[in-house]
Structure 1
Amino acid sequence: MKNIFIDCEMTSLDSNGELISLGALYIDDNGNERTFYAEFNDYDASHSNQWVIDNVISKLKFINYDFKNCVTTFPGTNTIKAVEMKGSTKAISLRFVEWIQDVGDRCIFVADVGHYDISMVFNMLGGAFSLPSNLSPAYTDLNMLIAIDKTLNVDQAFDLNREKLAGDISSDDKHNALFDARVARVIYYSIMKSN
């Protein structure tokens, strides 16, 4: 089973939370990075606290667009290399399903403290019984792997700086969903190589 590293930014971490952005990353058998990045245009920003406004919404890539849809394929193929879009939850859901299906391999999501991300994405996709046939309804939680690898409890693992764990990656893109998915990938493979 192959990994799709996923991260979401949302208006809040409660039952009223709505997706702001979604980033996903998959590495194919040839080592090619395949990415999905979407910003939602139908969330209610008033549900966001000041931290979300300052650290997520103000840094969105397509903040000045109402809609965007750009699909890049590998040269000479119909294989999707990258999707960048801004749109409604429905439009993003349809495009994300297409991207997952285009991956082809049986996949599982890997997310850092993923219960928020996975719940929202599965809801967006229509629930666990409506997922693309090549996507597992289970997921791998990176925070749990960090806790096991570092012999910490999950709260201690949660408090560790992810960019430092990934080798001091620093970027103005922190809290960009695709950047965070890339950081998760680096940490995941670092843990897998050490065990």
Structure 2
Amino acid sequence: MKKQNIISWIALTLSIIACIITLIRVDVTVANDSFISMIAGFMGVCATLLVGSQIYNSIETSRRIKELDDKLQQTQSALLEARKDNDRFEHYTRYRLYLQVGMSMGHTEPVFAFTELFYALREALRINDSLYTKRVLNEIDTICKRIIKKPPFKPSSKFNYENYSPEKLKKYDLYPLIKDKYQGYYNSIVNLYKQCQEQSQTAS
């Protein structure tokens, strides 16, 4: 922009000088060769200024494009981080909800409490938090001991234990750390359920 202003001022100055020479009728005697050389030199200067202006504008445009690209990348990075934070908060909220429901139903509906704690465990594994995972496992341990001590299953009970299989948790990074414990809890509950069903079929 500054280069263009300089060119405009030079053009204006030359125009004013030409007008003054015309008005005061200054006779300037110039030979043909000199005149042609002068015109050629003047045209060369103008061409140089125009080319320089274009180069400057091109450099300035490239710089601004790079700045816009940098800002765009920063914005995209910020949006990605915000999305990750939002997802983490959503899973944490679900974790808290499932955990609270499971803990509150442990005495009256231990099987239902186990299913809710399974969902809480899944959310803890999703957000990859070892402390949350450990807390849920402690609650599952309490529920399992309660179920083993007083099996809640009845012949009419329907328990889709496949939905809470360890296979559902294998894809999470922290799962190998809890694999043995959860497998033990799961096997205990499933065995009690199957025993109840077998006794019901034998009785009938």
TM class by smaller structure = under 0.3
TM-score (norm 1): 0.24
TM-score (norm 2): 0.24
